[in-house]
Structure 1
Amino acid sequence: MMHKRINFEEFDVLYPAVPKQENRHDCGVLALKYTEIFTPRTQMTNLFSNIDIPNLRIKYANDMFFSICDKSFVTDFFGDVCSYFPCPLVHFHFLFFFLPF
């Protein structure tokens, strides 16, 4: 059987029309939202924009902290977590990942 060589330089690079990051700290929120709503042949700029980022931050933080899978973590937050880590450290990590600088 003869193998045909593929010339990858002939391929076109296409970039989907998506809301672009306008600062240095929204990349994680944008990546989560792209992954959540991705469907081929859909114009994602019609589904959300950079104006939605603050609300998406709150939504994702609530989804993570109040997930049914993490119910024991949420109910025991100040008891168990603060005995292992000082509370300011936990709050610092929350601020670092979810609040813009």
Structure 2
Amino acid sequence: MVQRCFQLANGARLIHSCDEVHFPTLHSKHWFDFVVLFKHEMFVILDSAFDADSDFHQHVFNILFYDLPLVSVYFLQIPNFKRVWNMYGSSRNLNWRNWTTHFIDVPKQSNEFDCGIYTALFLKHWKPGVLMHDILKDEDIANIRIRMANEMMFTNHNILNDHKKLVLEF
């Protein structure tokens, strides 16, 4: 399945030619964004609930990275991603030794269920140098959720016009 995902993505545009590739990641009912910045040779984590030294990320990294402590993961620089990339990602060889891993300071959610909204906003707005604190405030999330639902319902790509009519004429 992973091989097919890389083949389809590379069919549209060579992945390594992108400035960044976002991998929205779900673990234990929590969403966060794992970003690969090719130009900067950097892995980035954007998480609205947990910081780098949290038990959550310690647990995630222990599962994904051979049961090693977080500090060792920085040293190994995401070995599973590198292995999969070398198998399926591109014919272009990347010098993984120069790559670094960073947790970015982003706004934090005030509850246990808004991580998906935050992650969607990270996918939409975050680029290197963008301060998410300037774009996103926790008190705006309820309105953003409504706006996102409206955008999905009324996009031209939604061909269920009868459902749109139900919402408009309720």
Q: Tell me the residue number matched to 1:68.
A: 156
Q: Distance in 2 between matches of 1:77 and 1:52?
A: 27
| Stretches of 4+ aligned residues off by more than 4 angstroms | 10-13
Q: Distance in 2 between matches of 1:8 and 1:25?
A: 28
Q: Tell me the residue number matched to 2:131.
A: 43
Match of 1:28 among 116, 123, 131: 116
Larger proportion of strand: 2
Q: Tell me the residue number matched to 1:53.
A: 141
Per the alignment, do residues 10 and 68 of structure 1 end up closer, same or farther by CA in structure 2, a change over 3 Å counting? closer
The alpha carbon displacement at 1:8 in A equals: 5.2
SS in structure 2 of the partner of residue 39 of structure 1: coil
Letter in structure 2 aligned against 1:76: D
Asked if the contact 2:74–2:101 (Cα under 8 Å) also holds between the matched residues in 1, the reply is: no
The alpha carbon displacement at 1:54 in A equals: 0.6
Question: CA RMSD for the aligned pairs?
Answer: 2.5
**Aligned residues between the structures:** 71
Per the alignment, do residues 78 and 59 of structure 1 end up closer, same or farther by CA in structure 2, a change over 3 Å counting? closer
Q: Identity across aligned pairs (percent)?
A: 28
| TM-score of the superposed pair, with normalisation by structure 2 | 0.37
The alpha carbon displacement at 1:45 in A equals: 0.7
In structure 2, stretches of 5+ residues that fail to align are 1-72, 78-99, 166-170
Q: Tell me the residue number matched to 1:15.
A: 103
In structure 1, stretches of 5+ residues that fail to align are 1-6, 80-101
Higher RCO (Cα < 8 Å, 6 or more apart): 1
Structure number with larger C-alpha Rg:
1
| TM-score of the superposed pair, with normalisation by structure 1 | 0.60
Larger proportion of helix: 1
Per the alignment, do residues 78 and 15 of structure 1 end up closer, same or farther by CA in structure 2, a change over 3 Å counting? closer
Letter in structure 1 aligned against 2:147: K
Per the alignment, do residues 14 and 67 of structure 1 end up closer, same or farther by CA in structure 2, a change over 3 Å counting? same
